[in-house]
Structure 1
Amino acid sequence: MSANSAPDSSRIDSTLPPGPARQRSRQACLPCRRRKRKCDGKLPCNVCQGYDYECEYDETFQIATQKRASSPNQLSHQRAPKFSRVDHSTDTSKQDGGPSILPGVLGPSKARYVGRYSSIAFPLYVGLELQATKLPRLHSFAYHTGIRKEPPCAAHSELTERIIWNTARSLIEVYSAIVNPIFGFLDMDSFYTRCEMHWHGQPQDLIFEAMICGVFALASLFKERIDQGTEMWLTLHAKNIIEDSDLSRFPSLEHIAAWILRTLYLRCTGRPHVTWLSSCTIMHLVEATGLHHAPESVIQAGRNDSNDSPTPPALDTINRIAQVANCLHVLIAFEYGRSILAINRRVLEYADYKSRATDLTPQLCRLVAALPTHQHKEDTAVLAQELFSALEKIAENTVDHDFLVLLRTDLVLGIYRRLRVLDAKYHHGHNEKIISAGVVALPAARKLVSQNQPWWNVVGSVFQFVCALIVMDTPSSYEKLVDAMDTLEFIVGHLDTHLAKEALSTARQLVHASLNKKRKGVEVLQRIVGTETPEAATSTQKADQLTQDMVSLSPLLAGQLPFDLDYLWATHFNLPS
């Protein structure tokens, strides 16, 4: 993520509002040519005037254009542009689970996306309707009474005073080696360059410092290069920055990145409710910056002084941030059983990136993309069918990292829990897929713990697998339960934490509860077998008496006991009188 990039303004292109029919001009102005929009050839043209662009032409054509634009007849017929209309027949937002959304407006100066129908955008719309010479800016006019001043920014740059550059460099290396291959949404080369500048006399902005804190906290979690007190300070310092009301007025890609890093850290160390709230904030920021809409569906208001289209590396970073944000939110909400924010997910679908040799982010996106995000359908049969389909896709996904193996198990078990709640009728093959997904997670969890990589699911995946095996209550599930419990005990012994011990204790309680339930069943069966009819009791007594007679008559025969009494009962013996 480069220091001087402006992804907020270059992410979304403008859309030409419809106007009266016009003839093709001999030459379009430079802004319209860059945007590949129709231009009326005036100076300023109707597009640049409506959106406050700097309208300019090639020098060879500029003089003729100025003469043509100065004609009073042409000026009298010039019409202020309007917002573009929407063809709802092609609207994909309903298919993506969210409400039908009209194209919005993006204010490039503040990177703030709002719906066209919002109170903030309406003054601009009115100005366009009235063909105003000076259009109102995209601003929260009269949002409140203004009787109180807004608090100033309370955060300050302190990071370089707490951590020396050599330590910072080693933490960046840890993050690049462990976290970035899976959640690859940062341009690590650019990140390293800006960090070096930050420590050597060229301070970066506070939001970037929050990003640094998030990277360092995660790196410290996996490799303790700093003490836990400093790690805690990093997380709180980043929180103070990204939650500051003055800084939050200007959402950006870096703001989203800082929240992603905070959410990852919370998922590894925090509570589920707080983590889910943090993931929701990420998605709200995705909406605030307009990343959830395709470029052609957003109107850009105000002047755009930056380049019109992002460079390929910047576009790659934009897509990565949007997709990792979406994946993280869906994972947390799906596991916790909370709502998945219904926004337009068409532009958040996974895409293959072939530029990085060790890049595992596409595998993460493929796993998440297979999940059904509509969790509250009234037709349970349809929902169950979607879950079965997702189970097949996720179980067949190939992944190349132990964390992703555990994550695949988490998703499979999450689907299994939902199917049990729905009381879905699944066949033996589904149980086997679930068990197989859990079995391969056991060595992966052992390996990660042995490498001191405390991903959040090294304990959780194994514990949930134990619970699933117990509740399945089949011979094949109990056969795998021994290895699962051994793995859980190994992990708990290695971690030696309260939460890990608590999970092991709970798993043992469930095993004992299952054993007690089966003992009660056996006792009932024994009572049934022990209740005999008088005829059966007489037969038993006769058989016992015959056995005693055989013992008394033939010691040799007694040495061959036990034998088939039913056979002997039907045999006639010629005994001496």
Structure 2
Amino acid sequence: MQAPKRKRSRLACKPCRERKRKCNGDEPCITCSEWGYECYYETRQRKPRTAKQPTPDTQPELQPSPQATVGPSPIDPDQSGLVRRLEANSGAAFVRKLGLKIDPAKAPKLNLFGWNIGTRKLSAQTVPNSALSIIEITSLEHMKSLAQVYFDKADPCYGFIDRRNFFERLDARWLSPLVPDIYDSVLSGVAAIGCLFSQRHATVTELHLIRTANCCLNTHHLSGPPSIDLLTGWVLRSFYLRLTDSPYSTWIASSTLMHLLEAAGLHPETPENSVLPHSAICDPDLQRRLVGVAHHLNMWTSFDLGLSRVSFQKNDLPLPPSPKPGDYTDEILGLLPISVSLDPGKAKDETDLTSILAKLLDGTHTQPPSVLAQCNLALCILRRIHTQNMDISPSLADRVLILLKNGLGCASSMVLDCSPWHQVANVPFQIICVLLTMDTRSSLAILPEAMRTLSLVASTYDTEALAEAYSTACLLVLLHQQRRKDDIAVLGEALNVHQQGRPVESPPQLNPSSEEYSWLGALVADLPGLQRVDLDQFLNADMMDPSSFL
């Protein structure tokens, strides 16, 4: 028996036609409702057709091909699966669909809530208007103290700068105040991140440092392959944007960085016998770290936005860096192979996703930023599993909940330590959404701690982005609670109808045989928690009043 053909709309709305998406012809259509687009249709005036009799001198009119007909084209199954994977990788799309599932009328709009701590408020009202020379911004001693904060808190996670070389060049810069250099972008970027990890509110010094770093990078003229100094400055810029700025700004900066890496010959590495640009002179381990951090930033920003990442034809990932004492960059970059496997262009079935999740949970992550990166990756896999309507085993679900609870504790400790990594806001918010999606008693039991963690982040860094993220999380929980109340009301009404009807005859008394009674007694003996139960009272009890369940 052939399956019935799917009905297609004869006319698609304007937003769906522009985005080449499926449209069901309603007003508003399903696609616009889910994505928050303004749904509208173009008004067209149709010309009356006049019947023409074919003559020998005229050629018959060609019938329009199926491709030329007005309306949406058939959806390619592969393309449909790609869209689902894009939505699953994107935290914004997942939150939107979660809200639509709970209450379409009150669902939050499409937005990356809690993507980072957001733009912090100035402690003073003075805003810099022009870039200053780095030696005019602050003193050498202050620069060294800010750099020390960077190397204590940020460098162990993203260790791609030679610490000794940095301080040597910092001293040399103050000895030559009239000689600006592209390395000023590195000095300014490190100091700006040091401000971010030492002050809960933005300062004028931090804004001056960022403006100077951006000016150095934007005005630098490339007369050949990019240098290591330029690439390091761009990594710091992408890093700072990921912590404080919008997703689109970060995506553009990280994509530019990836192209600069390719132009410099750092990745993929150019063979020695090639006439193309070779990799710049750099320590091989630092090179792998720099390329790995750039991949990490570009990949996850593109996943969150549902946009394409910058990838190369071959050797898509650099070699893992060498472990160093007090450094856990290798833990972060060790997650890159799993991250690449979640690329929306690569389809994954249930076995693949569950095995990837189990492998991820087996990994060792010791420091809070590394644990949060592990949590973020696990949340993405869980979104993919939910989008494909799959289930995971109870044992695997318990391991996931243990990891998520550990991530909440790491986020709280990082906030108290003034370490505003982007995951301190992103992971707790996404954990709340995933817990609501799992909707089990064990998952909902973690929900209060997740809300407290997000509240702590929002109150510590008083930004509009975090206030919006926290209010959205409260809205999702409230909608979920209201739906439960509505379900309870429906069940109560069903029981009221039962009580108002004819009285139900009492069920016949059960008189178990001696064989059945001995079997049940053996079961009670095997379960210590049931040994205090009076079997005679249990077996001979009358039916309970249904109202006692309410």
TM over 0.5, shorter chain: yes
Q: Residue 199 of structure 2 is aligned with which of 221, 224, 235?
A: 224
Matched to 2:338, the amino acid is A
- Larger Rg over CA atoms: 1
Asked whether 1:463 is paired with 2:429, we answer: yes
From 267, 271, 279, give the equivalent of 1:296.
271
Q: Which moved more, 1:270-279 or 1:385-394?
A: 385-394
| Structure 2 counterpart SS, 1:296 | coil
Over the matched positions of the two proteins, sequence identity in percent amounts to: 27
Are the structure 2 counterparts of residues 347 and 480 from structure 1 closer, same or farther at C-alpha, using a change threshold of 3 Å?
closer
Query: How is 1:387-398 mapped onto 2 (pairs within 5 angstroms)?
Result: 387-398=353-364
Question: How far apart, CA to CA, are the structure 2 residues paired with 1:385 and 1:184?
Answer: 35
> How many angstroms does 1:435 deviate by?
1.8
Following superposition, the deviation at residue 529 of structure 1 comes to: 1.8
Which one of the candidate residues 434, 445, 454 is aligned to 2:420?
454
**Match among 168, 176, 182 for residue 207 of structure 1:** 182
CA offset at residue 365 of structure 1? 0.7
Query: Which runs of structure 2 are paired with 1:52-67 in the superposition (5 Å)?
Result: none
The one-letter code of the counterpart of 1:348 is L
Q: In the alignment, which of 333, 343, 347 is matched to residue 302 of structure 2? A: 333
Q: 1:444 to 1:156 in 2, by over 3 A?
A: closer
2:137 paired with 1:165:
no
**Does structure 2 retain, via aligned residues, the 8 Å contact 1:372–1:386?**
no
Which one-letter code corresponds to 2:376 in the other structure?
A: D
Q: d(CA) in 1 for partners of 2:243 and 2:454?
A: 18
Alignment of 1:185 with 2:160, yes or no, is yes
Partner of 1:109: none
After TM superposition, the score normalised by the length of structure 2 is 0.63
Write the distance in 2 (CA, Å) between the matches of 1:268 and 1:287: 25
Specify the alignment match of 1:482 in structure 2: 448
1:534 and 1:301 map into 2 onto residues whose CA distance is 86
For 1:504 and 1:532, locate their aligned partners in 2 and report how far apart those are by CA, in whole Å.
Answer: 42
Name the CA distance, whole Å, in 2 between partners of 1:403 and 1:474. 28
CA distance in 1, matches of 2:401, 2:286: 37
What does residue 261 of structure 1 align with?
236
Per-residue displacement from partner, 1:479-514 (whole Å, max 9, x unpaired)?
Answer: 111222222223333333332222221111111111
**Distance of 1:322 and 1:263 partners within structure 2:** 13
Match of 1:472 in 2: 438
Partner deviation per Cα, 1:91-119 (whole Å, 9 max, x = no partner): xxxxxxxxxxxxxxxxxxxxxxxxxxxxx
User: Deviation of residue 301 (structure 1)?
Assistant: 6.1
Q: Decide whether aligned partners of structure 1 residues 476 and 297 sit closer, same or farther in structure 2, where only a CA change above 3 A counts.
A: farther
Native 8 Å contact 2:217 2:230 kept in 1? yes
Say if 2:150 and 2:193, in contact at 8 Å, map to a contact too: yes
Question: Which stretches of structure 1, 4 residues or more, deviate above 6 A after TM superposition?
Answer: 566-569
Specify the code of the residue in structure 1 equivalent to 2:204.
Answer: G
Q: Is there any run of 5+ residues in structure 2 with no aligned partner, and where?
A: 1-129, 507-536, 544-550
> What pairs up with 1:413-452 in 2 under 5 angstroms?
413-452=379-418
Quote the residue 1:365 is aligned against: 333
Match of 1:281 in 2: 256
Pairwise mapping of residues 137-148 of structure 1 onto structure 2 (< 5 A)? none
Aligned CA distance change for structure 1 residues 166 and 390 (closer, same or farther; 3 Å): same
8 Å contact from structure 2 (residues 268, 312) kept in 1: no
CA distance 1:281–1:532, change in 2 (3 Å): same
Cα distance in structure 2, aligned partners of 1:568 and 1:346: 72
Partner of 1:234: 209
Q: Quote the Cα distance in structure 2 between the aligned partners of 1:298 and 1:236.
A: 41
Alignment correspondent of 1:87 = none
* Contact persistence 2:371–2:410 (CA under 8 A): yes
Q: How many residues of Structure 1 are paired with residues of Structure 2 in the alignment? A: 383
Tell me which residue corresponds to 2:33.
none
How far 1:430 sits from its partner (Å)? 3.9
Q: 1:515 to 1:254 in 2, by over 3 A?
A: same
Q: Deviations over 1:240-281 (max 9, x none)?
A: 221226247651221111111011110111001111111111
Equivalent positions of 1:349-388 (< 5 A) are 349-354=318-323, 356-373=324-341, 375-377=343-345, 380=347, 382=348, 384-388=350-354
1:373 deviates by 4.4
Structure-to-structure mapping, 1:40-119, within 5 angstroms:
none
Residue 364 of structure 1 aligns with an amino acid whose one-letter code is I
Q: Is the 8 A contact 1:257 1:321 kept in 2?
A: yes
> Residue 267 of structure 2: SS of its match in structure 1?
coil
1:317 maps to what in 2? 286
Instruction: Determine if contact 2:401/2:443 at 8 Å carries over to the other structure.
Output: yes
C-alpha offsets along residues 58-92 of structure 1, whole Å, 9 cap, x if unaligned? xxxxxxxxxxxxxxxxxxxxxxxxxxxxxxxxxxx
Letter in 2 for 1:243: N
Checking the alignment, whether the CA contact within 8 Å between 1:371 and 1:390 is kept in structure 2 is no
- SS for the counterpart of 1:375 is coil
Q: What are structure 1's unaligned runs of at least 5 residues?
A: 1-154, 541-562, 570-577
* CA RMSD after TM alignment: 3.1
